[in-house]
Chains A and B, each alone.
Chain A
Amino acid sequence: MDKTKVETTPFQVSLFTTCLTDSFFPDAAIATVRLLRHLGCEVDLPENQICCGQPQFNNGYHDQARKMARNFIDAFAESLCVVSPSASCTAMIRDYYESLFTDDPHYLPLAQELVSKSYEITEFITKILRIDLQTYKPQARGKVTYHYSCHNRGIDIPPQVTIDLINLIDGVEYIPLDKMDQCCGFGGTFAVKMPEISQALVADKAKCILATGADTVVVNDGGCMLNIAGYCHRHNIPVRFVHIAQLLAESLGLLKDLEGQPS
């Protein structure tokens, strides 16, 4: 990435909400915005953003994905820094956008520029802002475990990044999840195209969650969240699912007005 750019115009962040967060998990977006502002960033929301095109890309419909990617690139053309609460959507941009435009001299440099300024929230906080959250004295209670979403791999965010963030919060007990980095079985259309396998994987994930005895599960991706939380709801497994941004914002007292509202 272009470091000088970020440093000379610090902390102007455009939020890439992602479609699942937009409709299913707005609380994660609220928490992300409040957290970033609390840490000194200015946050805007480019209104023409929709979806990065990952479902189309993963299913092999690259013409359709390209169409969506062009809209996406245009939507964030003016942004200095694009931050999303999802590694999966960020990985779509960082790992594949260039490959969609190798034959397009107009969009290729624009895609490359977007790649260089796109971040997932935890890496943005730890690698770009490099803020020591401990000085903000985050406080919470509870036993927390963490599911590592697969696409963090694609953009080189190791599990330890979120684990360290959880451990920063005073009063929280972190309990490791067995097979933390095994896919939950979501995989977008995979969940309905290969139902038996997907179901076996999410059942395995829920079993591991149950074994931790944790009351809160941190999941930093809308897809995994929909899958695992949906399974646990059906099977009466009483755990709360939150995005790390929610846990952090909560521990900094930024979500007090949302407490008690149905989530």
Chain B
Amino acid sequence: MIPKHDFKKAVRAAINNPYLQQAMETCTVRRTDRVINSLAELKDLKQTRQTAQKIKQYTIDHLDEQLALLSDKLESLGVTVHWAKDARQAREIIIDIAHQHDCRHCVKTKSMTTEEIELTPALNEAGIETIETDLGEYILQLDNDRPSHIITPMIHKSRQEVGQLFQDKLHADYTEEPEELTAIARHHLREKFQQADLGIVGVNFAVAQTGSLVVVENEGNGRMVTARPGVLVGVMGMEKVVPSAKDLAVMLKLYIRSAVGLRLTSYTNIITGPRKSGEIDGPEHLHLVILDNNRSEILAGPYRNLLHCLRCGACLNACPVYRKISGHAYGTVYPGPIGAAITPLLESSNRLSEKLPEFCSLCGACLERCPVMIDLPGLLIQHKRDLIKKNRSSLFYKLVLSVWTWFYSSPARYRFSQKWARHLMRLIARNGWVTFLPPPGSHWTAVRDVPLPKKQLFRDLWKKTNGNP
């Protein structure tokens, strides 16, 4: 999480930013429509989701075994496998690899796992020039900015801002035409690809049976990164393993449609071992870094199903909260419902993350859209339970709910509470509506009125009319 992140300020800034609100509408609401339509093309969608869920369930239930299989297969192909306990170790391993091969220029694909371990700044600090080559990430890197979505990282940036940025940082003539902006970036990136001696990729799936590392992308930058540099390092969270190529087919089908609403991404890179003799491209040295970073603890507890996540971002696009506040307001690497659920576990020592489970109205849209049906609302409630157990929940709401429960646990007390609520509200009501309530009700009446409760509860009407209301 961003140190000292101010949630309230960030939420307000997002909601009061008209450009952002418009962009979010286009990129989340309409994206969700596209996702739904592309999934609807699958004639066995329900069954495919169940199959995918079963594959993930099996994999996570046998994670040690699957990772051992993957590791053995990779070693037999000549790939060096590294196990990173946490973010720091992962960074150290990768920097070591770079030094070992005397690499100076690194190009990388978009990868949330590398964001999680804060890899790019660490490499740059270690003297290895590291360039993000996904267009969105490239722009964010130039601007010292952070992704606000796990798939489409720069929803929050306008093309005018990008034009200005390219003028300032790349000394290009100002333009706000997307094609021209892309051409400028392409020109600069081409040079970086040619220079690069190290490639870093985020691995979407690793197939245990074949030892294949799968990188999906739409821009061709991933193809460059995996084909050109002599040294290639894949980075993945340990949950990204799938047992077989057959399983991969199921996962890809759901992942790509859920992520971008397409049948297939433009590039699906499947890398099986380093370059063999006679091959004209691909890395001579191939490494895979498998990251734990608290995943073992997640595996052992009630949040285990979070490891089923494919990181498709469909839950972000569907989430009403994310749609309004965008990614930065969460202050996390992973925003949206998945971010709210997993960040308190990935950064369990950070107390700021305790606020995240409240970023949810429990509408269930994320669960409905999740390709592997992770019960995110249920897990967010689980977080609240854990905070209560640790005595870290709000005392005020504890009191409110206890009083509420007391009144609502006997019909007589319930009736009494309703009667007095009405009496009190009548004192301040005008024309049958209450326009102001004391805190925390003031948050409600800031933009809404409250109708005065009816003179007679329905249950009293029922009695009075002998059950003929």
Q: Write out the residue numbers on chain A whose beta carbons fall within 8 Å of the beta carbon of B220.
A: none
Q: Is the CB of A22 within 8 A of B418?
A: yes
Stretch at the interface among A108-116, A139-147, A196-204, A209-217: A196-204
> Could you tell me the distance between the alpha carbons of A231 and B387 in the complex, rounded to whole angstroms?
33
Cβ of A243 to closest chain B Cβ, rounded Å: 13
Residue tally, chain A, CB below 8 Å to B: 67
> Could you tell me the distance between the alpha carbons of A19 and B401 in the complex, rounded to whole angstroms?
15
Encode contact with B along A220-263: 1 for CB under 8 Å, 0 otherwise.
00000011011101110000000000000000000000000010
Encode contact with A along B351-365: 1 for CB under 8 Å, 0 otherwise.
000000011111111
Among the listed A61, A181, A203, which residue makes an inter-chain contact with B401, where contact means beta carbons less than 8 Å apart? A61
Q: Write out the residue numbers on chain A whose beta carbons fall within 8 Å of the beta carbon of B432.
A: 262
- A153 in contact with B446 given A17-B458, A183-B363, A230-B451 (CB within 8 Å): no
> Could you tell me the distance between the alpha carbons of A43 and B386 in the complex, rounded to whole angstroms?
41
Among residues of B, the one whose C-beta sits closest to the C-beta of A181 is B365
Cβ of A255 to closest chain B Cβ, rounded Å: 11
Q: Is the CB of B364 within 8 A of A153?
A: yes
Among residues of A, the one whose C-beta sits closest to the C-beta of B433 is A233
Residue tally, chain B, CB below 8 Å to A: 66
Cβ of A256 to closest chain B Cβ, rounded Å: 14
Q: Is the CB of A47 within 8 A of B15?
A: no
Name the residue among B325, B359, B363 with the largest chain A CB count within 10 angstroms: B363
> Could you tell me the distance between the alpha carbons of A233 and B469 in the complex, rounded to whole angstroms?
27
The majority secondary structure among interface residues of chain A is helix
The majority secondary structure among interface residues of chain B is helix
Q: Is the CB of A50 within 8 A of B414?
A: yes
Among residues of A, the one whose C-beta sits closest to the C-beta of B441 is A192
Among the listed A190, A193, A195, A226, which residue makes an inter-chain contact with B451, where contact means beta carbons less than 8 Å apart? A226
Encode contact with A along B368-383: 1 for CB under 8 Å, 0 otherwise.
1000000000000111
Q: Write out the residue numbers on chain B whose beta carbons fall within 8 Å of the beta carbon of A134.
A: none
Q: Write out the residue numbers on chain A whose beta carbons fall within 8 Å of the beta carbon of B321.
A: 194, 197
Q: Write out the residue numbers on chain B whose beta carbons fall within 8 Å of the beta carbon of A26.
A: 454, 456-458, 461, 469
Encode contact with B along A135-165: 1 for CB under 8 Å, 0 otherwise.
0000000000000001101100000000000
Cβ of B199 to closest chain A Cβ, rounded Å: 40
Q: Write out the residue numbers on chain B whose beta carbons fall within 8 Å of the beta carbon of A43.
A: 467
B448 on the interface (CB 8 Å rule)? Answer: yes
Q: Is the CB of B446 within 8 A of A22?
A: no
- A68 in contact with B408 given A30-B458, A183-B320 (CB within 8 Å): yes
Cβ of A107 to closest chain B Cβ, rounded Å: 16
Q: Is the CB of B453 within 8 A of A23?
A: yes
Among residues of A, the one whose C-beta sits closest to the C-beta of B382 is A60
Q: Is the CB of B418 within 8 A of A56?
A: no
Among residues of B, the one whose C-beta sits closest to the C-beta of A189 is B397
CB within 8 Å of A: which of B445-463?
446-451, 453-454, 456-459, 461-462
Q: Is the CB of B451 within 8 A of A229?
A: yes
> Could you tell me the distance between the alpha carbons of A154 and B365 in the complex, rounded to whole angstroms?
10
- A230 in contact with B359 given A23-B454, A201-B324 (CB within 8 Å): no
A71 on the interface (CB 8 Å rule)? Answer: yes
B164 on the interface (CB 8 Å rule)? Answer: no
> Could you tell me the distance between the alpha carbons of A60 and B324 in the complex, rounded to whole angstroms?
25
Cβ of A153 to closest chain B Cβ, rounded Å: 5
Q: Is the CB of B462 within 8 A of A234?
A: no
Among residues of A, the one whose C-beta sits closest to the C-beta of B434 is A230
Q: Is the CB of B381 within 8 A of A58?
A: yes
Q: Write out the residue numbers on chain B whose beta carbons fall within 8 Å of the beta carbon of A230.
A: 444, 448-451
B29 on the interface (CB 8 Å rule)? Answer: yes
> Could you tell me the distance between the alpha carbons of A204 and B323 in the complex, rounded to whole angstroms?
11
> Could you tell me the distance between the alpha carbons of A58 and B388 in the complex, rounded to whole angstroms?
12
Among the listed A44, A154, A198, which residue makes an inter-chain contact with B361, where contact means beta carbons less than 8 Å apart? A198
> Could you tell me the distance between the alpha carbons of A220 and B440 in the complex, rounded to whole angstroms?
26
| A and B contact pairs by CB, cutoff 8 A, 17 listed | A26-B456, A48-B411, A150-B364, A150-B365, A182-B29, A183-B361, A183-B363, A190-B360, A190-B362, A191-B443, A192-B443, A195-B446, A196-B8, A197-B361, A198-B443, A202-B447, A262-B432
A binding-site residues for B, Cβ under 8 Å: 17, 19, 21-24, 26, 29-30, 33-34, 43-45, 47-48, 50-51, 55-62, 64, 67-68, 71, 150-151, 153-154, 179, 181-183, 185-204, 226-227, 229-231, 233-235, 262
